[in-house]
Chains A and B, each alone.
Chain A
Amino acid sequence: MAISEVHAGRSYPPTTPYQVSAAKIAEFATAIGDDSSSYRGAEPIAPPTFVAVISSPAWELMFDDPELELTLSRIVHGDQRFSYVRPLRTGDVVTGALTIDKVRSRGAVEIISASVEITTVGGEPVCTAQATFMHSRGEAA
């Protein structure tokens, strides 16, 4: 069955643990054009939006869920909120666990609200990433 309101509350197992490295932080900072010394050196913190790197595989679990019948090319990222407990740091080993919070239908579009709880493998909360995705149904005119 295609995605609908009944999928609110559906959750996915935590993503494979991801170890935050100084090299990856520096690579990400360079990609957003940020030359801050906070993101360089042996033990940097990560730029705030680095949490997207952890969120992406959690989003993919939902996008690839056969039960939801989503088509990746019909999904648009509508909005994004990050709520931080603390910055990610080199050496953190973190996972993201996604829950579908809400599904609304508006015409030929499903509006999906999903939260990814990013925690260390020790269970310490780091960030909540709340996204809204719009999925257009293919059969709609």
Chain B
Amino acid sequence: MSVALLEGLEVGSALPSLTVRFTRERLVRYAGASTDFNPIHFSDHFAAQMGLPGVIAHGMLTMGTALRVVTDWLGDQGTVRSYFVRFTRPIVVPDDDAGAEVTFSASVAAMAGPSVTFAIEAVFDDQKVLGAARAEVDLGA
């Protein structure tokens, strides 16, 4: 077990937060890497047809980026056992240099032996875009 990582960690402990800009370039990259080519993630006219306020980020991109708060802390000292998110609000990504700024954070929700469960939050435009997000890591692996 990675004793060093557990030292000083208690329920409520927060990990360093992460702020990321989702740009159209990032969406195109994620589309290619993930093979999710739904046009709501790159086409303005298609997004409009779908009644969306604009091109939106892949929920799985948000989910994958959010977990970095935990895995950046974990490094190679353990493994992720489970990860859950609810997709509660879309992240609209404009076609400009600024993109959409999303801030991710995580704090300890539960600890049991080598297992630590983090509650994760993702905030865009002052609103949470993920609900009930939890990642359980195992430091005994």
Contacts and interface: CB of A to CB of B under 8 A. Distances in A.
A32 B65 contact: yes
Nearest to B20: A33
Interface string B7-51: 000000000000010000010011011111010000000000010
A34 B61 CA distance: 12
- For the residues of B in contact with A, the DSSP-based class is mixed
Contacts of A56: 34-36
Interface of B: 20, 26, 29-30, 32-36, 38, 50, 59-61, 63-65, 67-68, 71-72, 75-76, 79-87, 131-132
A87 B32 contact: no
B125 to A, nearest CB: 19
A84 B79 contact: yes
Contact size class for A? 20 to 34
B17 to A, nearest CB: 14
Interface of A: 24, 27-28, 30-34, 36, 38, 47-49, 52-53, 56, 72-73, 76-84, 86-87
Contacts of A27: 32-33
A84 B136 CA distance: 10
Nearest to B39: A73
Given A47-B64, A81-B82, 8 more contacts: A27-B32, A38-B75, A49-B67, A56-B34, A73-B50, A81-B84, A84-B81, A86-B79
A48 B71 CA distance: 9
Given A27-B33, A73-B50, A80-B63, A87 B84 contact: no
Contacts of B81: 83-84
A79 B80 contact: no
Residue among B20, B38, B64, B79 with max Cβ neighbours from chain A (10 Å): B64
A33 B18 CA distance: 11
A31 B50 contact: no
